[in-house]
Structure 1
Amino acid sequence: MKKFSLLLLTLTFGLMAMSFAPHGAMSNVLGLSGASLKAEDGPMNWERTSHDFGVIEQDAPVSYDFVFTNESGQAMIITKVKPSCGCTATNYPEAPIQPGESASITCTYNAKAMGKFRKSIVVNTNVNYGEAVLYISGEVK
């Protein structure tokens, strides 16, 4: 009887927690929203969505330009670019990118720790699509 009561209590709290989640949060967890789409599937046609720097030196910043073309049919504004850590800086155009135009997002990684790394950069735009996720990786010697 105690096990049944504990199970019922756990189920009740779990359902309550899901009902208080922000709108769309559960679809993100389940992989149903635009945020889970691959960067290649959206209105930004990327030349590449990942870059491997190979072996790099510690405290020697390295950069890579992720080039894309706006294929959305409307002027695109990059609203936010968020790296996964403070060791990665980004630079991106603030002006609207017209349909058919190409632009780039520069990612600069400054390694402080030795070893392998893989970092993500999340890109948001005014085009209703979700997020594009870019990746940089390498090894610090």
Structure 2
Amino acid sequence: MKKIITLLFVGLISFSINAQDKVAKIEFKETTIDYGTVEKGANGLRTFEFTNTGDAPLIVSKVSSSCGCTVPKKPKAPIMPGMTGEIEVKYDTNRVMPIRKTITVLSNASTPTVTLKIKGEVIDPSKASVLTKTKSKSVMEQ
């Protein structure tokens, strides 16, 4: 009986050691998306593409943003080794202001937390900017 228990114990240990060799790895094409200058009400949907370069299925467990104006959407199914996935990010472009937001991705990858960023500026073309008005000539230029 002792030999059977010892054999099972050794088998279980070797199985768990082999299982730990396989790990998921997440590699993003880019970690920052620049919206550039977009008009108020424009399409705020952008996509971060990534690949599982590991040898185990990649499970994205949570994706959150630093603000309620940015809504990220994670993949529902595991991403198998060598396959690609997407994290969609929708920014509310009805807010006229600079865009500087952070998206945090949690997964079972070897690097379990990855930070993504979006940047840019939303402008309202119907409102004239003080900076774009033409300057009148000064007394010295006349």
What is the TM-score normalised by the length of structure 2? 0.65
- In 1, distance between residues paired with 2:72 and 2:97? 22
How many residues are matched?
Answer: 100
Kindly report which structure 2 residues correspond to 1:24-63, keeping only aligned pairs within 5 A, or say none.
43-63=25-45
Structure 2 gaps, min length 5? 1-23, 124-142
1:43 offset after TM fit, Å? 1.9
Aligned CA-pair RMSD: 1.7
Match of 2:50 in 1: 68
Question: How far apart are 1:128 and its partner, in Å?
Answer: 4.5
Give the equivalent residue in structure 1 for 2:111.
129
Distance 1:115 1:89 in 2: 17
- Indicate which of 40, 63, 71 corresponds to 1:89: 71
> Deviations for 1:69-125, whole angstroms, at most 9, x for unmatched residues?
001221111100001100011122111111111011010101343231210100000
1:63 Cα deviation after fit: 1.2
Contact 1:80 1:123 in 2 (8 A): yes
Question: Of residues 49, 59, 63 in structure 2, which corresponds to 1:77?
Answer: 59
Among 87, 98, 102, which residue is 1:105 paired with?
A: 87
CA shift, 1:126, in A, is 2.1
Structure 1 residue 45 displacement after superposition: 1.2
Q: Which segments of 5 or more consecutive residues in structure 1 lack a partner in the other structure?
A: 1-41
- After superposition, the C-alpha distances for 1:4-43 in whole angstroms (9 at most, x for unaligned) are xxxxxxxxxxxxxxxxxxxxxxxxxxxxxxxxxxxxxx92
Letter in 2 for 1:51: I
- Separation of aligned partners in 2, 1:127 and 1:48: 17
